[in-house]
Homo-oligomer: A and B are copies of this chain.
């Protein structure tokens, strides 16, 4: 899978990495059980530091998107990603709230909003 990072915007690299991998899973490009590059490999490929990749992997592991084997490397969680729970819905709502507020202000209609999605 192709990883596309943007070093110009101020979003942390490790977050971009996390989002790219989640997007890869969402699109089906990364299948449960599939192997990801090693920390060092991926770091070398995209020209960033090992620790930055590691930080992304650690958070993905904590959120149960991947499993990290000490020797065998990193694989997409074989059971698939975690399902939406109450906490996720709350977080999602919290993140969406300001976006919706601003859209309302700017008279960006609900339909357009949904269509964009």
Contacts and interface: CB of A to CB of B under 8 A. Distances in A.
Contacts of A97: 19, 23
Given A67-B8, A101-B26, A96 B116 contact: yes
A104 B26 contact: yes
Which applies to chain A's interface (DSSP): helix, strand, loop or mixed?
Answer: helix
A15 to B, nearest CB: 9
Contacts of A25: 101, 105
B116 A93 contact: yes
B12 A70 contact: yes
Contact of A92 (B7, B84, B103): B103
B106 A70 contact: no
B83 A106 contact: yes
